[in-house]
Amino acid sequence: MGNSREPNLTATLRRRALGAARRARDAGRLLSTGNVPAGRDPELLPAWPAPADQVMPPMYFGWTRYSAFYPDSKAFVVSREVPNPEAYKRQLWAADRMITRSHVFLDLSVPLFQRMRERHDYRHVVTHSSDMPDPWQSQLHDAADTHDVLILQPVESTKLHNTMKGHLIRTGSPSRVVVWFRIDDDDLLGLNYLDELSQYANPHDRGRAVSMARGYSALWDEGSVTHIRTAHRRLGSQGQAYVGWWDKDREEITFPRAGSHATVDDRMPTILDSRPHVFMQLRHVGQDTSTKLAGIEALRSKHTSVAGVQDLEPVFEQFPTLRGVYRPAP
């Protein structure tokens, strides 16, 4: 009887092995595409294929679109309201607009990125247009030569995913948690941002988004920052992060699907942390995502209706580049 049962046992083990392999493939397909295979119950799929225990600290990638030319985007005022491509470029790279971007991003934001790199394995990808004129193009490349935290990515060449993957392959990175986050070219992240984010950059939180929702807001006017106040941006774009995994053997990065930052919790589990102050949102004339361009007086009136921060020392500790450009409100 022992011999007669061996084929049945072998067949059972084989079916179980095939079933486990199929479930792993389905889970990978779900995480890569967001689609549940036909006929499968998503609740029966594992949350994530379990890799080997993490032995490396996480890799962080920031992402900024530095006045890049996106003619089909509906997310920005300029691309939405100026349908002619050449007129769009003229407005996008107009001197009065770019003076603000170059000052805020290159002089105030990038030095903070470089400081964060001293404590974390971190690179910041800057998507830009190759035909952006000088002096803006030259200034950006000079900044990348000076700050090794920056990786320049022409918008015409490839996508963010491929840039991250290429860096991990070139540096021979082992399998580990990878996190990417976004920040606009006219906002700042504090020196504490990655320190605070690191508590969620672990294997248990893969497949999740992280919204660090507390920070500051200030007016930017003629090269100065004034009237700094606290800000609470639940699911805001400032520093919203996505926790994924780099598989060295397969040379694949798996991230949850990002989409709109405002509705990210509809697509994936989302961690909301409003305890630390980690971002600085600068309000100014010509904000890209404003629905209506406002004059500085209208912005000042609205902004100063909320009490400003009285003790600025904690602000300057996390945003030291603001010390030289802060101007007390009259």
Query: Residue 104 pLDDT more than 80?
Result: yes
Residue at token pair 């700042």: 188
Say whether pLDDT at 25 is over 50. no
Hey, which bits of the chain come out as E strands? 59-65, 121-128, 150-154, 176-182, 187-189, 209-212, 214-221, 224-232, 241-247, 252-254, 270-273, 279-283
Checking if the pLDDT of 300 tops 70, the result is no
- The string of pLDDT tens digits covering residues 233-284 is 998 989 899 999 999 999 999 998 877 888 888 898 999 999 999 999 998 7
Taking the C-alpha atoms of residue 317 and residue 78, their distance in angstroms, rounded to an integer, is 35
Give the model confidence (pLDDT) of 57-82 as tens digits: 999 999 999 999 877 655 445 545 55
Residue 41 pLDDT > 50, yes or no? no
Amino acid identity at 62: G
For residues 248 and 173, the answer to whether their CB atoms sit within 8 Å is yes
User: Tell me, what DSSP letter sits at residue 157?
Assistant: T
Give, as one character, the DSSP assignment of residue 44: G
Cα angle value 130/133/137 (rounded, 5°): 65
Predicted local distance difference test score (pLDDT) of residue 83: 62
Tokens 């952006």 sit at which residue? Answer: 132
